[in-house]
Chains A and B, each alone.
Chain A
Amino acid sequence: MIPFGCAMSSPPRPVSNCEALVGKALSGELKKGSWRIIERLERSQDGSGGNFSVGYLAIHEDGTRSFCKATDIGLLTRCLIADPLTKMRQALNEQYFEREILTICRGNNLDRIVHALDYGQMELVENGVRDIVFYIMFELASGDVRQQVNRQKRLGLSWTFLALHNLAIAIQQLHRQRIAHNDVKPSNFLVFDEHLQKLADLGRATSETTNGPWDTVNYTGDHNYAAPEFWYRNNFPMQSGKIAFSVRQASDLYHLGSMAFFLVTGQRLTPLMHTFIRPEHNSHNWRGNYQEVLPFIRDSFGASMAFFDTNIPHRPDGSLIPEANDLKTAICQLCDPDPRLRGHPSNIQQSVDQYGLDRFVSQFDRGAKAMNVHYLAT
């Protein structure tokens, strides 16, 4: 196998209209006045692992800065090889669905979700090619939490609790609107300042009440972060022609726990678990169902959790500090490989909303406060 970069580097691709927006002025449907596109931001993948949109820094006439996510039919068709017309229609549906969901979030004051400041579409002619560019302007953050991989740049446990508190609230806010995010990952968890982080990118969301393009797709988010039940063939329960909302909730809980693991260790949980799985149980090789492989997945999850301890402050006697121990327990509950056992044990025992996040929100809040007190005291 030839590694990328040796003889397999990608051939140059034709520039799509949405990739040439720098300097252009765009007008939206929500805000009066126009947005000027200042510069293109670093490329990032979308939820499917593809590259169907381009990010820009945009400034409104009134001085509001925003992150502009733009796409066009040319870019979509280039990425979609089989049956381009159907796929294109699907992609446009996704655009409209994301706008709809963002409108719900705005209307219900979901303050830990990155809101759309504006959106719109515009016909552009570039190099003789006519195309319609779709764009959404989001609140602009100062960065995401991917820097946690770097020992020098990473933030401490106190901040981790605070960030998790904000993230848990964000997911809880969505779940209360019967929306599942499905794509919670470090690049979608945006930092506005030290005390405020918000969840972005509802492009892969599903709603129990609103029909959307992902309703029947098993897993819609980035597969590098997928909960283990999505790695294998699995028949999920359906409700009103959609994958049951509880399946989506369970997936979001896994993502929350996985994010906690990432913030502490700097490593994504899903790929780490894969390193402990024997090749026979790899999703490429396994022919059985998920229940059959579950004990092995649980074992790999346990082995992965050992890395948690190596990145956490310990007491002089070698044990974890209580807050860290609580966090570890929370991760184990949120990421339990068996979705039937995922969630807070009290919720499961009392047969109340199994995937409810109230207890975790409180726990992260307590953790943040305790760590702050500890920090101030020392």
Chain B
Amino acid sequence: MDARIARDRTVFPRWRSLWRISSSELQSYKKNAAHVDLGLTEESLRFLYDRWRERPTLENAAEVVDCAVRLDRPLLAVGPAKSILDNQDAMPAIRAVADFVVRGPINSDLDQEIPITSREITAFKIRGVKRRLENEPRNGLLWMEKARLHTEIGDVRSAETAIRRALGCSPESRTILRAFARFMVHLDRPEEGHDRLVQSSIVRHDPWIQAAEIALADVAKRDPVSLKRGANALASKEINPQQLSELASAIATLEAKSGKDKRAREYFRQSLQQPTENSLSQAYWAREALSIEIPIKTSMLAIDGAFEARSRYCLERKQWDKATLSCERWLDDEPFSIRAATEGSHVALSLLWNASSGLRFCNMGLVANPDNITLLNNKAVALVRLKRIAEAEDVAKKLRQHLSHSEPDPTVLATLGLCAFARRDFEQGRAYYSKSVLRAQDIGSVDIEFRARAHWLYEEVTAGNLDQKSFMKVVAAIDGAAAKGDIRTPSLDTWEALKVRAGLHKFMDAENTAAEIPLLVPTE
């Protein structure tokens, strides 16, 4: 049903196109380096500028513009650049540089630009990248971009070939190694990603690679190799705090999971000195999921591209519509991210109660992850809510197939119950919900058990199977279970939404005791 697979979060690297990678991640982590004498000074530029003023030819203007670009002083060459743009005889490449001087560099602003993602556009982009690769077979970043685009449309085989080519071209590139690690997590093969990170030589000193290594080791249930080095780097204060943010966050998460809350809190604080959007999201997640007290300044949400953190902030404040919008931006930013799609569909379906929006999230997520059970599950829920029962049945078929060859997932069982209720097969519906409750008990998940009952109750009410008195009785019992304190906040929020909506329904007059429906009422 409204499953959230993203129970466990680690600071996996984000994987964006080159122009959208955050500035801090692209910078070198080194604090000081020897000054590079460019051999060019403003004196040289002045000389060329004066010569252009004496003889304003195209040749002289082009030399001023080129020198200004090299000196990183484009504003000093605006005049010559404009003269080039006004000259019809200027060659296209010269015009391009002049245009760069006049307009300035393209700065990626994740908050302003909304990438348009559709299968057709992605396919078009892949064709463009392929054409460039014919001429640039050694361009690792281009292979990486090809892999990312293939991942967006769910073609993971081509993506894997491309990302391996990228690694072959630049085996020690931080950007490519992190992309590879993220891709391996996407493929659910974190061990391979971890192996590759450990093999690289830069894992010994690069905090970004160390952060990724620790995160992947966590998922792969391995011992991280960078823990000690990372802790030393964090203690030494020789590196800019922003460069260490994700490393601190990764170590903090590990400490928190092993119950060392005090140290975890310290590392989280360090990660928030100059946070990246990823470490900020991690802090929000840890605050809720691991119940660690982490003071987070709201102003940090202004970080470019902090969509996930903003969605968590809105969820904390029960601003469901804003949370949905942030999830949409998050999914646009990382179209292959399962978490963005599941989080968005969960908020839209269970809290905002907007089935169309929920369906949109699922469909977008399913492009890159066509077999993801959680997304299929949520899609079935959305279709039922939209009364598109036949389509919901098609999705339910896939869910049943999944059940046939894997351990039964209580959430999927509950969704199959929902589908059965939708086709008014109450017996089967109750059977599935019962199985879901029992399965949740088997695996010891009080939270899922709670949610299964909450949804079941809602279906019974909307099907007209309960009178108001019985309804109130069951609500009181479920409330009692909620009060025990093992239920997660999103589940409680879902329950509140279900309760209100169920209460709005017309109840039947005749008494139909809830006691006749075994397992619906939680036992003491």
A residues contacting B by CB (< 8 A) are 1, 3-5, 8-10, 42-43, 45, 48-51, 146-154, 219, 223-224, 231-233, 265-268, 270-272, 274-275, 278-288, 291-296, 298-299, 302, 305-307, 310-311, 328, 332, 336, 338, 341
Chain A residue, CB-CB nearest to B59: A146
Q: B36 and A224: CB pair below 8 A? A: no
* A274-B69 CB under 8 A given contacts A49-B41, A150-B59, A283-B36: yes
CB distance from A9 to the nearest CB of B (A): 7
In contact, B96 and A287 (Cβ under 8 angstroms): no
Complex A-B: 6 CB contacts under 8 Å: A49-B40, A151-B91, A268-B66, A295-B173, A299-B139, A336-B138
Given contacts A267-B97, A284-B72, 7 further A-B contacts (CB under 8 A): A42-B51, A147-B59, A223-B70, A231-B36, A272-B93, A278-B18, A279-B107
Determine the distance from Cα of A51 to Cα of B46 in the docked complex, in whole angstroms.
Answer: 11
Chain A residues, Cβ within 8 Å of B142: 299, 302
- Docked-complex contact B28 and A307, CB < 8 angstroms: no
B26 interface residue per 8 A CB criterion: yes
Most buried by A among B19, B47, B51: B47
From the candidates B33, B132, B169, name the one contacting A233 in the complex (CB within 8 A). Answer: B33
Report yes or no: B170 in contact with A294, Cβ–Cβ below 8 A: yes
Q: Is the CB of A149 within 8 A of B59?
A: yes
When distances are taken between beta carbons in the complex, the residues of chain A under 8 Å from B53 are 5, 9
Interface residues of B in 56-97 (CB under 8 A from A): 58-59, 62-63, 65-67, 69-70, 72-73, 75-79, 88-94, 96-97
Chain B residues, Cβ within 8 Å of A311: 91-93
A4 and B50 contact, CB distance less than 8 A: yes
Residue of B nearest to A146 (CB): B59
Given known A287-B30, A307-B96, contact A150–B89 (CB-CB < 8 A): yes
Check if B352 is an interface residue, CB within 8 A of chain A: no
CA distance A302 to B18 in the complex (A): 14
Q: Is A280 a contact of B27 with CB atoms below 8 Å?
A: yes
Question: Which residues of A lie under 8 Å from residue B28 when comparing CB positions?
Answer: 286-288, 292-293
Q: Are A1 and B73 in contact (CB under 8 A)?
A: yes
Task: Report yes or no: B73 in contact with A266, Cβ–Cβ below 8 A.
Answer: no
Which 5 pairs between the two chains have the least Cβ-Cβ distance? A288-B28, A49-B44, A266-B91, A267-B93, A271-B66
**B228: CB under 8 A from chain A?**
no
Contact B27 A302 (CB under 8 A): no
B180 within 8 A of A: no
Are the C-beta atoms of B30 and A288 separated by less than 8 Å?
yes
B99 to chain A, nearest CB (A): 9
In the assembled complex, the Cα of A224 lies from the Cα of B66 at a distance in Å of 7
Residues of B close to A287: CB separation below 8 A: 27-28, 30-33
Q: How many A-B residue pairs have CB under 8 A?
A: 191
Closest-by-CB residue of B relative to A306 is B132
Taking A3-B78, A50-B43, A223-B40 as contacts, is the C-beta distance between A151 and B33 under 8 angstroms?
Answer: no
A-chain residues with CB within 8 Å of residue B49 when the two chains form the complex: 4-5
- For B34, list chain A residues within 8 Å (CB): 233
Whether B58 pairs with A149 at a CB distance below 8 angstroms is yes
The yes or no answer to B105 lying at the interface (CB within 8 A) is yes
Q: Would B136 and A4 count as touching, CB distance under 8 A?
A: no
Q: Are B36 and A232 in contact (CB under 8 A)?
A: yes
Q: Are A265 and B92 in contact (CB under 8 A)?
A: yes
User: In the complex, what's the smallest C-beta–C-beta distance from A269 to chain B, in angstroms?
Assistant: 9
B493 interface residue (CB < 8 Å to A): no
Contacts of B88 in A (CB 8 A): 151
Cα of A137 to Cα of B77 in the assembled complex, Å: 34
Question: In the complex, are the beta carbons of B75 and A275 less than 8 A apart?
Answer: no
Judging by beta carbons under 8 Å apart, are A272 and B138 in contact?
no
Hey, which chain A residues are within 8 Å of B59, CB to CB?
A: 146-147, 149-150
Q: Measured between C-beta atoms, what is the minimum distance from A94 to chain B in Å?
A: 15
Question: Are B39 and A4 in contact, CB atoms less than 8 angstroms apart?
Answer: no
Beta-carbon nearest neighbor of A291 in chain B: B172
Establish whether residues B96 and A49, one from each chain, have CB atoms under 8 Å apart when the complex forms.
Answer: no
In whole angstroms, what is the CA distance A151 to B41 when docked?
Answer: 30
B176 to chain A, nearest CB (A): 7
Distance between Cα atoms of A51 and B141 in the complex (Å): 40
Interface of B is mostly: helix
**At the interface, yes or no: B135 with Cβ under 8 Å from chain A?**
yes
Residues on the B chain within 8 Å of A151, using CB:
88-91
B454 within 8 A of A: no
Complex: how many Å from CA A288 to CA B33?
7
- The docked-state distance in angstroms from the alpha carbon of A147 to that of B90 is 10
B235 interface hit (Cβ, 8 Å): no
Summarize A's interface: helix, strand, loop or mixed. loop
CB of B118 within 8 Å of the partner chain: no
**How far in angstroms is the closest Cβ of chain B from A42?**
7
Which of A49, A51, A283, A298 counts the most chain B CB atoms within 10 A? A49
- Pair B51/A267 contact, Cβ less than 8 Å: no
Known A270-B70, A307-B92; judge A49-B135 contact (CB<8 A). Answer: no
Residues of A within 8 A of B30 (CB): 287-288
| B75 nearest CB neighbor, chain A only | A1
Tell me which of A3, A8, A153, A310 contacts B79 (CB under 8 A). A3
Residues of A within 8 A of B45 (CB): 4
CB–CB B47/A51 < 8 A: yes
Asked if B520 CB lies within 8 Å of chain A CBs, one says no
Q: In the bound complex, how far is the Cα of B23 from the Cα of A290, in angstroms?
A: 18
- Asked if A292 meets B174 with Cβ closer than 8 Å, knowing A43-B51, A265-B92, A268-B66, the reply is yes
Measured CA separation A1–B172 after assembly (Å): 39
Judged by a CB distance under 8 angstroms, whether B48 is at the interface is: yes
B116 on interface, CB distance cutoff 8 Å: no
Contact A283 to B38, CB < 8 A, known contacts A3-B79, A271-B97, A299-B142: yes
**Bound Cα distance from A275 to B38, whole angstroms:** 17
B76 touches A266 (CB 8 A): no
Which A residue's beta carbon lies closest to that of B84? A149
The docked-state distance in angstroms from the alpha carbon of A34 to that of B39 is 37
Quick check: A285 and B27 within 8 Å, CB to CB? yes
Cα(A311)–Cα(B92), bound, Å: 8
Contact with A along B5-29 (1 / 0, CB 8 A): 0000000000000110001001111
Say whether, besides A287-B32, A288-B33, A149 and B97 are in contact (CB < 8 Å): no
Q: How far is the CA of A31 from the CA of B305 in the complex (A)?
A: 72
Instruction: Please name all residues of chain A whose beta carbon is closer than 8 Å to the beta carbon of B55 when the two chains form the complex.
Output: 42
A298 in contact with B58 given A3-B78, A149-B90, A287-B31 (CB within 8 Å): no
Instruction: Say yes or no: B94 contacts A10, CB within 8 Å.
Output: no
Q: Does B249 contact A (CB under 8 A)?
A: no
**B140 within 8 Å of A by Cβ?**
yes
Residue from B43, B50, B67, B91 in contact with A224 in the complex, judged by beta carbons closer than 8 Å: B67
A293–chain B nearest beta-carbon distance, Å = 8
- Give chain B residues whose Cβ lies under 8 Å from the Cβ of A4: 45-46, 49-50, 76
B100: CB under 8 A from chain A?
Answer: yes
B136 A295 Cβ-Cβ under 8 A: no
B75 contacts A3, C-beta separation under 8 Å: yes
Q: Among the listed A146, A271, A298, which residue makes an inter-chain contact with B70, where contact means beta carbons less than 8 Å apart?
A: A271
Residue contact B70 to A224, C-beta cutoff 8 Å: yes
Q: Which residue of B lies closest to A277 (CB)?
A: B105
Is B278 an interface position by the 8 A CB rule?
no
Q: How far is the CB of B138 from chain A (nearest CB, A)?
A: 7
Instruction: Give the distance to chain A from B208, nearest Cβ to Cβ, in Å.
Output: 12
Contact indicator per residue, chain B 348-390, by CB within 8 Å of chain A (1) or not (0) = 0000000000000000000000000000000000000000000
Q: A144 → chain B, closest Cβ, in Å?
A: 9
Judge if B434 is at the interface, Cβ distance under 8 Å.
no
Nearest A residue to B63 via CB reads A224
Residues in B whose Cβ lies below 8 Å from that of A268:
62, 66
Measured between beta carbons, the chain A residues less than 8 angstroms from B96 are 267, 272, 275, 307
Compute how far the CA of A328 lies from the CA of B49 in the bound complex, rounded to whole angstroms: 32
- Is A302 in contact with B139, judged by CB distance below 8 angstroms? yes
CA A233 – CA B32 in complex, angstroms? 12
Contact B50 A9 (CB under 8 A): yes
Q: Return chain B residues, CB-CB under 8 Å to A341.
A: 138
Q: Any chain A CB within 8 A of the CB of B324?
A: no
